[in-house]
Chains A and B, each alone.
Chain A
């Protein structure tokens, strides 16, 4: 309709991630944060406002910070989660005075009560559009027609029914914490504390036959900043030494940016995810260990340079030889499929491709029969090769939707001394070019 309007597709998964991040961030105000999808957060700030200089000040602070981040926040504070949501989404008041919810709600549309679309439109059809229209009305007929949710939502908003919010971060299954009377600063002290916390957790885990898959270390600085560090493991672990190693790599990766400031007064180690792990039994060949070693190596390198920088090479479905492979995460099968990679190799195809593919085809001078005969001689890196056997051409045309390159005629050739090469002629004689050029693209064993 409006050609100049910039549009982009909705990416609800990304929106969700963003909202989660915001929720993380907003834990600075209170640990009791819950999501109000698709674009809201509910914070229970009971007893937390004094830290920020009162409700108004908290709201201003929050608004300003979000604004700085490029958001357009709409926030409100009210007696109940329901009223606050309504005020934020439909109202104008930013801080609803205590006891003022009812007045604030009355002119708002019924949708402000967090009702489903069907109920709202059913109410609309009988002429009930504003919250004020049902506040004082008899409840029974409404409940009979539009369900008890309507009444519950109304009561919740008005504070006539308790509504507890469920914090989004469930309590970690296992947690170990140590507080210090005197803040600690030195890394050795932190490490020592960590080791002892890990040992505590380790024995709890062992008792349950579990191992940790994700751990979070929270360092609470005296000035209120919380340094959270999370590590994931590729297989369940519980040895204190391993846990310490992982965090060490992590800190080493962080380098100088690790700032103890005035020191930490609380250190908390929490296990966020677990997986069953039986007491390790090493078999006689030691293979299990080797595999475990690889995983640990990946974990350790990953913890230092980032897991996304570790990968392996797999085959990819493309006729163009240099595009026939791709780099995927070590354990990501899903990614393998998405990139069009082929999970396995057809062994019969192996003979068609050289063992070693040059990073970039190298130009050679060759003499060959037109239009598509094999080369007779070719010169590569100043040495001349006489070809005694050749097979081909295998014709591979360019991926026309991507670029407009010339077709290639590949030949597998063998020279007098038994060396085998993979050469191609670039450009179909007369059809694409008058003077095709030759390249060497690989060598067979």
Chain B
């Protein structure tokens, strides 16, 4: 059989052109029996590493290259580097093209190739016209590249294939350039044609029916086996032979990239290793003033030896240097992830997890066997990370520094949207369709969801849209910058990988993402941003300013504070790091954390890994003493019965952390550490191509063979699968637990400081400012409104004579002696929606002794009338005796023209005085509250639901706070504003809702069946009534919903004078979503009859409902 290598392959990293993943292409090529393959994407090397990794895995001949596409009319040219040097030049060439173009574009001219092409093999891909331009290109290149130049011929099954090939053969003969046979591949198999057509339409912004000749006429651009190729090119056998011959000359492999970490001068130390040892020693002495414990000393010795062997010292020094810089600028930072397994990192101040107190697994971080670089992730305050990034650019220079890329891929929702658009579906249908997908899930949309939105799932177009969007999910869409992964190199970065412009000015990204970099062992430092660190830094500043107290993270963590744990045990964790989510809150009272390690478990347990592995309940039962702690053991023939005790001892025999699952694979299933690691990576990166099955069998069979129960083995594997998405090692949990503890400590002892810091660090976390403020007030802190004479941009602390503790809400009564705060929180101007920081600064700067009227503010500041009106909307003029309406009236009377001369001002003033009095109706308190929500997204005056209490009571609805005293199993009826709707992917369709009334929060669980029945209510209501059964377990109270009702129309009444409410009584008949009534009204609708009788109602309802409904929080949706 003829040997053939396909050397012209467009993968889906030629965005919206290629119809297959590089991995698929490589695998298919191997299966078809080709001699080899080269991935050649359009002006990019973004996909080559993935193909490389796959080829390495299956042992297949693989070359890399690039299809150069020019802007000067030159036909496309395939370029394959033959050696490291020409590879470097190819990177330089692409970088040049990238950098001179906008993000995502690459501008190249033939001249550039002549400049940089030395050493490459080239092949010209003739365009449609075989004209002078082609001849000229051949002539120019032939001159320089001599026998390194080829001309490709292809058989696309067009009308003129044979004539074309004959003509090309003549041309090739004329210039003495060999022909190269290729199929100019766009996808690995013919079944991908529809998908490739859809991609073309997305790219060209066309719909299928009118895309016409933009689409390929047939499905022939797939990988073909050597026999087919031999038949197609039977008149040109030499062109087939050439493919093989060419491949043999392409000896360059990506593994040759000898990556060198920057070797910065290391002071007086002889080598980086020596410098690292010195820094570590000094750091250890600081960490352990009473002498370094033996255990730590041993770890340090072991780690330093390994680091030396792998020559990673410069990398540690770089991170150390960055940390030192941050510390010198008082930027809070902390390492996370597997680096927290390292005693060296602890001593260098990179991480905070004390190796003395925990068992660290350094091999998880650095190992000889794994052959993969360590990955140090450091979190910085999110507001000051930029300073750190600029420092790195400055220190190492832009030619050596770049950000890792993130491959943005299609998710279910975006895929549905774009594919639907290509099929010409209407905006409404698209919206409805993509609405069936929750969050970022990548699962398929079930048929019943489709019928639910009024579409027929079996209808051909809908079917095609669904199938194709499922297929397209996971396809790369474009490259974006990684949140903070810096690649720093010793030599030029752009000779290792092409560099491109990022969306942000002055940022450059490399074309590879973190998996690619890992696969080639290129080191990167993750400079990440963490909102909680900003919050903590702000809190520390408040502590210093108002309490003359200078805490640090280390100082707070140095001793275990019972009060903090007591608070957490009551699930009083709103605002704290990580453990504030609904799921965490329901876990806290069950887990009852008593010591730091419990927090580590708390952070790790509510994760897909343990949940999918079914490990959560066994662990809780054992912790609560309901179940004996036993360790699964092998049959006595195969090993020591306690072989897992070492692995699972700390977690009561239940595996919770990623490390433990890996250790089980090794200890119980007989994996080598290398295999275990392959398994882990297979989960994370190879899901695309599905090599998981073999590992699964190996693990389950391995454990079964050694006498473990099948069920336990299954669960361990499911857990590893769960970790695939969000690997959560113990060290990472430990780093996070530190921040959990610090934030909880602040909340416990200084709720005023915590609240102000948290509000100033928004947006972050799970809850909106309204809930943070409410919770703070429950903890006895006075919160004062935004005011022109008192507020700064940020929230501030003000003296408050009274003792905070005295005002504690009864439910927090136990904290009476723990609360040390005595200040009030003044809300900042940042709380006003649409108010800019610049305007706030102006307002504060010239405030002086205060403003005494709206006019005074207007005259003295240069703020526009619209800005002042916004202040009035926010009710910020109370300190001068004006409520919202009076202030608005005054603002609108200012006159619009901003050109003011003192003289005219006086005249205008006199004019105003002469203005007749105008009696404005007082604003009802309910309307004030609604307006507070509208402009501040919270209200200090009252809770909106409090105005409805009487009407709610008439329906038998009880306040949320009464649930505490209700016995489990009772039927209850509660109502409140919807704060959070959450449908975790791990909870099989269960929806969690959190609602809030004036007395507190209630949590509801909605089972799928109920969800289906009340879907519109659950998704649409701002105010909802829930009927259900109360379930109370270890102090965790849930309402298991069986009926939901949308009460949003009730909110309408808040902003109308009470007399008008009755006019809306008819709304009850209509009951459902007011907003939808703006749609055309079908003739059969009951609404029409209603409208016939009471015509004003439609307009009224729509307008008022949008008005009141809109300002109330929609509730946050979490996945």
Q: Is A133 an interface residue (CB 8 A)?
A: yes
B222-258 interface mask toward A, CB cutoff 8 Å, 1 = contact, 0 = none?
0000000000000000000000000000000000000
A142-165 interface mask toward B, CB cutoff 8 Å, 1 = contact, 0 = none?
101110000000000000000000
B1099 touching A90, Cβ below 8 Å: yes
In chain A between 357 and 405, which residues have their CB closer than 8 angstroms to a CB of chain B?
A: 391-397, 399-402
B920 touching A126, Cβ below 8 Å: yes
Query: Nearest residue in B to A122 (C-beta to C-beta)?
Result: B892
CA distance A332 to B1015 in the complex (A): 48
Query: Nearest residue in B to A431 (C-beta to C-beta)?
Result: B190
Instruction: Find chain A residues with CB under 8 A from B214 CB.
Output: 317
Query: Nearest residue in B to A109 (C-beta to C-beta)?
Result: B1100
A2 touching B916, Cβ below 8 Å: no
B157 touching A395, Cβ below 8 Å: yes
In chain B between 177 and 210, which residues have their CB closer than 8 angstroms to a CB of chain A?
A: 190, 193-194, 197, 208-210
B461 touching A401, Cβ below 8 Å: yes
Instruction: Find chain A residues with CB under 8 A from B213 CB.
Output: 317-319
> Which listed residue (A3, A133, A412) contacts B453, Cβ 8 A?
A3
Shortest beta-carbon distance from B263 to chain A in Å: 57
A317 touching B918, Cβ below 8 Å: no
B918 touching A407, Cβ below 8 Å: no
CA distance A135 to B423 in the complex (A): 55
Query: Nearest residue in B to A402 (C-beta to C-beta)?
Result: B209
B892 touching A145, Cβ below 8 Å: yes
> Which listed residue (A72, A142, A352) contacts B160, Cβ 8 A?
A352
A396 touching B916, Cβ below 8 Å: no
Shortest beta-carbon distance from A347 to chain B in Å: 13
> Which listed residue (B428, B888, B915) contacts A7, Cβ 8 A?
B428
Interface locus among B389-397, B507-515, B1088-1096: B1088-1096
> Which listed residue (B158, B194, B211, B1082) contacts A400, Cβ 8 A?
B194
Take A394-B157, A400-B193, A407-B218 as given contacts and tell me if A145 and B915 are in contact as well, using a CB distance cutoff of 8 Å: no
Instruction: Find chain B residues with CB under 8 A from A21 CB.
Output: none
Take A3-B452, A140-B915 as given contacts and tell me if A127 and B1073 are in contact as well, using a CB distance cutoff of 8 Å: no
Instruction: Find chain A residues with CB under 8 A from B884 CB.
Output: 125
B1099 touching A5, Cβ below 8 Å: no
Q: Is A89 an interface residue (CB 8 A)?
A: yes
CA distance A69 to B426 in the complex (A): 29
Q: Is B1111 an interface residue (CB 8 A)?
A: no
Q: Is B1072 an interface residue (CB 8 A)?
A: yes
Instruction: Find chain B residues with CB under 8 A from A116 CB.
Output: none
CA distance A91 to B1026 in the complex (A): 37
Q: Is A416 an interface residue (CB 8 A)?
A: no
A162-197 interface mask toward B, CB cutoff 8 Å, 1 = contact, 0 = none?
000000000000000000000000000000000000
A6 touching B159, Cβ below 8 Å: no
> Which listed residue (B162, B208, B217) contacts A396, Cβ 8 A?
B217
> Which listed residue (B209, B461, B921) contacts A127, Cβ 8 A?
B921
| Interface-centre pick from B214, B423, B1016 (highest chain A CB count, 10 A) | B1016
Q: Is B451 an interface residue (CB 8 A)?
A: yes
Q: Is A255 an interface residue (CB 8 A)?
A: no
Take A1-B1072, A5-B1079, A137-B918 as given contacts and tell me if A144 and B1020 are in contact as well, using a CB distance cutoff of 8 Å: no
Instruction: Find chain A residues with CB under 8 A from B931 CB.
Output: 125
B193 touching A141, Cβ below 8 Å: no
A126 touching B1076, Cβ below 8 Å: no
A317 touching B212, Cβ below 8 Å: yes
Instruction: Find chain B residues with CB under 8 A from A344 CB.
Output: none
Shortest beta-carbon distance from B813 to chain A in Å: 41
Q: Is A9 an interface residue (CB 8 A)?
A: yes
Q: Is B1019 an interface residue (CB 8 A)?
A: yes
CA distance A316 to B211 in the complex (A): 10
In chain B between 836 and 870, which residues have their CB closer than 8 angstroms to a CB of chain A?
A: none
B218 touching A2, Cβ below 8 Å: no
Instruction: Find chain B residues with CB under 8 A from A142 CB.
Output: 918
B212 touching A141, Cβ below 8 Å: no
Q: Is A283 an interface residue (CB 8 A)?
A: no
CA distance A395 to B461 in the complex (A): 25
A1-45 interface mask toward B, CB cutoff 8 Å, 1 = contact, 0 = none?
111111111100000000000000000000000000000000000
Shortest beta-carbon distance from A254 to chain B in Å: 33
Query: Nearest residue in A to B1082 (C-beta to C-beta)?
Result: A6
B219 touching A391, Cβ below 8 Å: no
CA distance A400 to B452 in the complex (A): 27
Shortest beta-carbon distance from B868 to chain A in Å: 13
Query: Nearest residue in A to B919 (C-beta to C-beta)?
Result: A137
Instruction: Find chain A residues with CB under 8 A from B452 CB.
Output: 3
B220 touching A395, Cβ below 8 Å: yes
Instruction: Find chain A residues with CB under 8 A from B215 CB.
Output: 319
In chain B between 657 and 688, which residues have their CB closer than 8 angstroms to a CB of chain A?
A: none
Q: Is A226 an interface residue (CB 8 A)?
A: no
> Which listed residue (A4, A5, A140) contacts B916, Cβ 8 A?
A140
A2 touching B1076, Cβ below 8 Å: yes
Shortest beta-carbon distance from A404 to chain B in Å: 9
Q: Is A47 an interface residue (CB 8 A)?
A: no
Q: Is A74 an interface residue (CB 8 A)?
A: yes
Q: Is A138 an interface residue (CB 8 A)?
A: yes
Shortest beta-carbon distance from B128 to chain A in Å: 9
Q: Is A128 an interface residue (CB 8 A)?
A: yes
> Which listed residue (B194, B461, B885, B916) contacts A126, Cβ 8 A?
B885
Shortest beta-carbon distance from A64 to chain B in Å: 14
Shortest beta-carbon distance from B324 to chain A in Å: 54
CA distance A100 to B1078 in the complex (A): 32
Q: Is B442 an interface residue (CB 8 A)?
A: no
> Which listed residue (B218, B895, B1057, B1080) contacts A10, Cβ 8 A?
B1080
In chain A between 198 and 225, which residues have their CB closer than 8 angstroms to a CB of chain B?
A: none
CA distance A433 to B714 in the complex (A): 44
Q: Is A410 an interface residue (CB 8 A)?
A: yes
B893 touching A89, Cβ below 8 Å: no
CA distance A393 to B159 in the complex (A): 7
CA distance A125 to B452 in the complex (A): 40
A146 touching B892, Cβ below 8 Å: yes
CA distance A53 to B118 in the complex (A): 97
Shortest beta-carbon distance from A130 to chain B in Å: 9
CA distance A339 to B888 in the complex (A): 54
B210 touching A340, Cβ below 8 Å: yes
Shortest beta-carbon distance from A215 to chain B in Å: 37
Shortest beta-carbon distance from B705 to chain A in Å: 44
Instruction: Find chain B residues with CB under 8 A from A125 CB.
Output: 873, 884-885, 888, 931
Q: Is A92 an interface residue (CB 8 A)?
A: yes
Query: Nearest residue in B to A74 (C-beta to C-beta)?
Result: B1095
Instruction: Find chain B residues with CB under 8 A from A8 CB.
Output: 1080
Shortest beta-carbon distance from A103 to chain B in Å: 17
B208 touching A410, Cβ below 8 Å: no
Instruction: Find chain A residues with CB under 8 A from B1096 CB.
Output: 90-92
CA distance A70 to B1095 in the complex (A): 17
B428 touching A141, Cβ below 8 Å: no
Please list 28 pairs of residues, one from A and one from B, whose beta carbons are closer than 8 Å in the complex, sorted by A's number: A2-B1072, A2-B1073, A3-B452, A7-B428, A9-B427, A9-B428, A72-B1088, A72-B1092, A89-B1099, A91-B1096, A125-B884, A126-B889, A126-B920, A138-B915, A138-B916, A140-B916, A144-B893, A145-B889, A317-B212, A340-B209, A340-B212, A342-B212, A394-B158, A395-B217, A396-B218, A401-B194, A401-B197, A401-B208
15 new A-B contacts, CB < 8 A, other than A391-B160, A397-B217, are A1-B1076, A9-B426, A122-B888, A126-B885, A127-B885, A138-B918, A140-B916, A141-B918, A144-B915, A317-B212, A317-B214, A397-B218, A401-B208, A401-B461, A410-B159
Binding site for B on A (CB under 8 A): 1-10, 70, 72, 74, 89-92, 109, 111, 122, 125-129, 133, 137-138, 140-142, 144-146, 316-319, 339-340, 342, 352, 391-397, 399-402, 407, 409-410, 412, 431
Binding site for A on B (CB under 8 A): 157-163, 190, 193-194, 197, 208-215, 217-220, 423, 426-428, 451-454, 461, 464, 873, 884-885, 888-889, 892-893, 895, 915-918, 920-923, 931, 1015-1016, 1019-1020, 1056-1057, 1072-1073, 1076, 1079-1080, 1082-1083, 1088, 1091-1092, 1095-1096, 1099-1100, 1103
